[in-house]
Amino acid sequence: MIPDKVPQEDVYHAPQDLVKGAHVPNFEKYKELYLKSIQSPEEFWGDIAKDFFWKTKHTGKFLDYNFDVTKGNIYIQCMEGATTNICYNALDWNIHQRNLGDKVAFYWEGNEPGDELKVTYRELLHQVCKFANVLKSVGVRKGDRVSIYMPMVVELVVAMLACARIGAVHSIVFAGFSAESLFERIMDSQCSLLITADGFYRGDKLISLKLIADDALQRCRDKGVPVEKCIMLKHLSKEQPDSPAASPSPPAKRPCPDLQETPKDKVRKIRPKAQVPWNPEVDLCWHTLVDGASEECEPEWCASEDPLFILYTSGSTGKPKGVLHTVSGYMLYAATTFKLVFDYQPDDVYWCTADIGWITGHSYITYGPLTNGATSVLFEGLPTYPDMSRMWEIVDKYQVTKFYTAPTAIRLLMKYGSAPVQKFRRDSLKVLGTVGEPINPEAWQWYYSVVGEKKCPVVDTFWQTETGGHVLTPLPAATPMKPGSATFPFFGVVPAILNESGEELEGPSEGYLVFKQPWPGIMRTVYGNHQRFEATYFQKFPGYYVTGDGCRRDQDGYFWITGRIDDMLNVSGHLLSTAEVESALVEHPAVSEAAVVGRPHPVKGESLYCFVTLIDGVAYSTTLETELKQQVREKIGAIATPDYMQNAPGLPKTRSGKIMRRVLRKIARNERDLGDVSTLADSSVIDQLFNNRCPTAV
Ligand code: WTA
């Protein structure tokens, strides 16, 4: 599985000063620990678990599971009998056991340079306890689901930890999603409470979050399933005067009071305010509630397999799946991957640029760093705002040592050359990381040479919402790196490559990436639909968890992710299902059918190329195209906006009516060699499709 020897030439090694004192200092040590993690998981994870607080210790096997659908229901159970609380471990335990009360947990850096805050572990604990008491006061109980739809502010972390503290299950919805997407997620997880904010700025753009949240809540009411309460944080300060574009103030019945007292040290530019509709029947003000709440809140002791959170990810049927993670296994896995993959050291300042609305933010902004007692940067803004140097300015400002971002951000910044990077010193950096999609070797080289000055290993971390944490990844001091390869499995993870018939391939090979056994952080079910969990991940190859990604293993045993092999697209590191975008298009009255495929994009990785068939008598026009793009934005969110669109009076189908996406992908790329098209029902559509290609897709 793990090669005895790894190449020493044509690979990249960590500098000696990183190797000294590293948790896993060389490949031999990695191999030794890896073997232990597979052969004696009880001992391996048992040692790790000693650093955590357990109210009661586990009694059963460390991991108990069935991974084979032919033998019964799929289940994964970790540390049966143990009780703990992840919020207690992240805060109280660090404060009391490790004396980290005065350590900074987060440096918050707002969208505007100069807009900043810092919060220590003790302050965070107080805020979390207060808000946990607020949650209880509005009737939230253990096991209840709470939707969170917030910008990247400290209060988002407070809200999630407060849920975890009382055993409520958070379901965070990325603040870039539309009202329809939020509505769908609230309905699916049957949330009784929504937590949101008035709004926020992304660069120059105002997002009136409460307005969108209200739209979603109205949709829930229309379905006869009203959400009982909505707590709104006032994030945009009240000092800003109303601009003509802003809406009138909310009705005065029970307005959210002014925010004189918090946050004191924010400096904001004068900008239009968010529109803040207010429904006194439902809406509650975060600040009013928190003001009167106690700073003490006894944690709810949760069983290992109690649910911790739900996070939705795209599903190939178009309906998002509520990936469910549970308490103990997720905690151990997020904490351990964070510690070892970034070689976390107590004096580190760590920065992950992801949004907490995605799994990367859950595991590597909130839970992983906090359970390690780390200091992190929490950034609200954009890498390109106010200019292309923003990231490096922040790195210098906080002396960031470990930096984690996405290939799409690297490619975007690469376009502007090295000058914006070199305006700043970046000499604090020690480890660089990437996540979200395969990184092309050119971007890897730029990141390594220009950003890291050839001094920082680049950890290319492959994982998924479902895996909870990194599963294939280098360890910075131990693994010789090859640009573009996620290298080898993390501890406890056993990958395999299968061919179409489900046979395991040995040596250099390419096929389906699967995992043969669970690790503590793997998802446990799809919320409310265990059958879908089994069907999606376990049916195709019984006995294996199927990632949906293609993978190649080279002659040295390195793993290279080749991209999705299902109907999923990866746009700027975000997974989208083609079915989801297609159904948004088809909902337009002019559209009878739609097919969406990916087309390579220099910055986003993949872009969306949409073929639409109109109903008889409707003419294709640019106005219609704009309407359709708008429709997708409204249904899903800006991340799903189609890049290219074309009229497709006919689609290439097999005789049984299945759309041949393989052919459409070629047309989107303007590649004339279509391969075998003998199964096409009507080959005349091909010329027509080539003739109608979107002119901007050169
Ligand atoms: C892709 C994000 C190649 C992959 C953490 C996976 C990657 C999907 C990498 C999960 C990587 C993520 N190299 N591909 N280092 N990291 N992916 O659920 O296709 O948003 O299945 O989780 O992103 O996306 P998700």
Task: Give the span between the Cα atoms of 475 and 312, in whole angstroms.
Answer: 29
Least Cα distance to 597 among 579, 616, 572 occurs for: 579
CA 575 / ligand 1 centre spacing (Å): 8
CA 552 / ligand 1 centre spacing (Å): 15
Nearest-CA residue for ligand 1 atom 10 is 464
Nearest-CA residue for ligand 1 atom 1 is 437
CA 570 / ligand 1 centre spacing (Å): 8
Instruction: Give pLDDT tens digits for 27-38.
Output: 999 999 999 999
- 242-251, 343-352, 533-542: the lowest-pLDDT one: 242-251
> In the predicted model, what is the mean pLDDT of residues 45-56?
98
Please report the pLDDT score of residue 256 as a whole number.
56
Helical spans, DSSP H, in 138-199 = 154-166, 179-189
Task: Give the span between the Cα atoms of 454 and 458, in whole angstroms.
Answer: 10
This prediction has a pTM of: 0.92
Nearest-CA residue for ligand 1 atom 3 is 438
Cβ of 313 less than 6 Å from ligand 1: yes
> In the predicted model, what is the mean pLDDT of residues 429-433?
98
CA 185 / ligand 1 centre spacing (Å): 21
Please report the pLDDT score of residue 269 as a whole number.
54
CATH T-level assignment (fold) for domain 16-87+309-564: Rossmann fold (3.40.50)
SS3 41: helix
Cβ of 549 less than 6 Å from ligand 1: yes
> In the predicted model, what is the mean pLDDT of residues 566-594?
91
Please report the pLDDT score of residue 681 as a whole number.
85
Residue 237's pLDDT band (boundaries 50, 70, 90)?
A: low
CA 451 / ligand 1 centre spacing (Å): 22
Please report the pLDDT score of residue 270 as a whole number.
65
Residue 406's pLDDT band (boundaries 50, 70, 90)?
A: very high
Q: Is the pLDDT of residue 89 over 70?
A: yes
- Indicate the pairing of strand 307-313 with strand 321-326: antiparallel
CA 397 / ligand 1 centre spacing (Å): 30
- Output the CATH code of domain 568-691: 3.30.300.30
CA 194 / ligand 1 centre spacing (Å): 28
Please report the pLDDT score of residue 680 as a whole number.
86
Nearest ligand 1 atom to the CA of 573 is 23
Q: Is the pLDDT of residue 252 over 50?
A: no
Q: Is the pLDDT of residue 173 over 80?
A: yes
Pair of tokens at residue 492: 């406890």
Please report the pLDDT score of residue 566 as a whole number.
86
State the Rg of the chain over Cα.
25
Cβ of 336 less than 6 Å from ligand 1: no
Task: Give the span between the Cα atoms of 315 and 322, in whole angstroms.
Answer: 9
Domain(s) labelled CATH 3.30.300.30 in the chain stretch across 568-691
> In the predicted model, what is the mean pLDDT of residues 556-564?
95
Cβ of 363 less than 6 Å from ligand 1: no
Q: Is the pLDDT of residue 259 over 60?
A: no
Q: Is the pLDDT of residue 264 over 50?
A: no
Q: Is the pLDDT of residue 100 over 60?
A: yes
Handedness of CA 331, 334, 340, 343 (dihedral sign): negative
Q: How many CA atoms lie within 13 A of 517 on its CB side?
A: 15
Instruction: Give pLDDT tens digits for 149-164.
Output: 999 999 999 999 999 9
Instruction: Give pLDDT tens digits for 486-527.
Output: 999 999 999 999 999 999 999 999 999 999 999 999 999 999
Is residue 441 within 8 Å of residue 560, measured between CB atoms? no
Please report the pLDDT score of residue 180 as a whole number.
96
Walk across the sheet containing 509-515 and list its strands. Answer: 495-498, 509-515, 545-553, 559-564
Cβ of 473 less than 6 Å from ligand 1: no
- Indicate the pairing of strand 644-647 with strand 205-207: unpaired
CA 437 / ligand 1 centre spacing (Å): 5
Nearest ligand 1 atom to the CA of 564 is 19
514 membership: H or E segment, kind and range: strand 509-515
How many helices (DSSP H) and strands (DSSP E) are in the chain? 22, 30
Mean pLDDT of the chain, nearest integer? 93
SS3 47: helix
- In single-letter form, the type of residue at position 68 comes to D
Nearest-CA residue for ligand 1 atom 25 is 464
Cβ of 407 less than 6 Å from ligand 1: no
Q: Is the pLDDT of residue 248 over 50?
A: no
CA 549 / ligand 1 centre spacing (Å): 9
For 144-306, CATH number out of 1.20.120, 3.40.50, 2.60.40, 1.10.287 equals 3.40.50
Cβ of 438 less than 6 Å from ligand 1: yes
Nearest-CA residue for ligand 1 atom 5 is 464
Cβ of 360 less than 6 Å from ligand 1: yes
Residue 46's pLDDT band (boundaries 50, 70, 90)?
A: very high
Rounded to the nearest 5 degrees, what angle is found at the Cα of 328, between the Cα atoms of 323 and 333?
75
CA 637 / ligand 1 centre spacing (Å): 20
Cβ of 355 less than 6 Å from ligand 1: no
Please report the pLDDT score of residue 467 as a whole number.
98
Domain(s) labelled CATH 3.40.50.12780 in the chain stretch across 16-87+309-564
Residue 271's pLDDT band (boundaries 50, 70, 90)?
A: confident
> In the predicted model, what is the mean pLDDT of residues 62-91?
98
CA 152 / ligand 1 centre spacing (Å): 21
Cβ of 465 less than 6 Å from ligand 1: yes
